[in-house]
Amino acid sequence: MFFVAAGIIIGSFIVSRNPALAFDLEAAFPVAGNPFDECVTPTADEMALFSIAVQALEAVKDRLSALGIGAEKFLGDGLYRDGIRVCDPGGVYDRVAHLSVEHLSFKYRLVEYQLKLAARFGEPDPYIVEAVAKSAFSGSRQPSENFANRDIRPMARSVLAGFREKAAKYAATAYDQMSANDSLGTGAAQVAAAAGHPLALNRSERLMTDALSALPEGGVVPWDTKNRLYELAYAFTLVGERGKVHLAPLRQLMTMKVQSRAPPFGMIELQPKRMCDLLAHIVGINSADGEAYPYCADDTVPYDS
């Protein structure tokens, strides 16, 4: 799996430290589970849980309540069965999206569970897009609900990128803020590319190339650099066929080893197996890639964290 291992969403524990600031930046990774994994059809019992959550939101309407927040958290997290993601019932999330607009559920500062929920809306209303963009490009830190001194703007940017062309009005702003310095910059790259800025893909490729060129030849990709590269690479999955011609730095990265956390042992060196699903999503599974990156199909090779 690419972004999820043992049911744990990677974005929940990968952060970017900006040394000039007194807080951590959340990662700019997908927050609604692994977008490249297959999912399993909900059972009747699982559908009943989704239905109860929707009924709770219908009952509380626009009132702030623990019941409504709990329902939104459940729907934002989704369901897993034996570590495998349960498919989101489209009609359920369409109804929740409608309720969110009707009840103005996103009128206050957004926190993680609301961003996770918004990420699951297939056709977000302009009200939802604007609320997420307000968080994503706020001029001030957007505090985490769960962690002290963590800024979740990169997370909001990744969610906004998932809206693709519906985020078009923010493409220029995102392009201006692109960088490989931290997850704010890489999250901006995702938005710019997905929202259709004509120069964003070339610039994302160049940022990856420059970051790789700055590493010692034959060296291991450090933890922070790896995560910035992964975040930039994710931009290419959001643009369909146009992403295929920008993959040279990704392919170079996949020939290297990267740092991976292995508590309690610290950092270890692994192959960048989390990129295998991403590459297959962009170009499809082919024999050339299988020969170039045999670890992708090797079950004995673990996924890097």
pLDDT tens digits, one per residue of 68-105 = 999 999 999 999 999 889 998 879 999 999 999 999 99
* Cα 250 from Cα 99, distance rounded (Å): 40
Q: Which amino acid is at 95?
A: R
Cα angle vertex 162, ends 157, 166, to 5°? 95
* Cα 141 from Cα 276, distance rounded (Å): 33
DSSP 303: P
* Cα 18 from Cα 102, distance rounded (Å): 38
Burial readout 236-245 (b: 16 or more C-beta within 10 A, e: otherwise): bbbbeeebee
Per-residue model confidence (pLDDT) at position 289: 78
Asked whether the beta carbons of 279 and 286 are under 8 A apart, the reply is no
* Cα 285 from Cα 133, distance rounded (Å): 34
DSSP 40: B
* Cα 50 from Cα 23, distance rounded (Å): 36
Q: Tell me the torsion sign for CA atoms 5, 11, 12, 14.
A: positive
* Cα 299 from Cα 305, distance rounded (Å): 16
Asked whether the beta carbons of 182 and 149 are under 8 A apart, the reply is no
Q: Which amino acid is at 281?
A: H
| Torsion, Cα of 97, 100, 104, 105 (10° steps) | -130
Output the tens digit of pLDDT for each of the chain's 305 residues: 444 333 333 444 456 655 555 689 999 998 765 567 789 999 999 999 999 999 999 999 988 899 999 999 999 999 999 988 999 887 999 999 999 999 999 999 999 999 999 999 988 999 999 999 999 999 999 999 999 899 999 999 999 999 999 999 999 999 999 999 999 999 999 999 999 999 999 999 999 999 999 999 888 999 999 999 999 999 999 998 999 999 999 999 999 999 999 999 899 999 999 999 899 989 987 767 778 999 999 999 999 99
Per-residue model confidence (pLDDT) at position 2: 43
Per-residue model confidence (pLDDT) at position 20: 52
Q: What is the pLDDT of residues 9-26, one digit of tens each?
A: 344 445 665 555 568 999
* Cα 204 from Cα 116, distance rounded (Å): 25
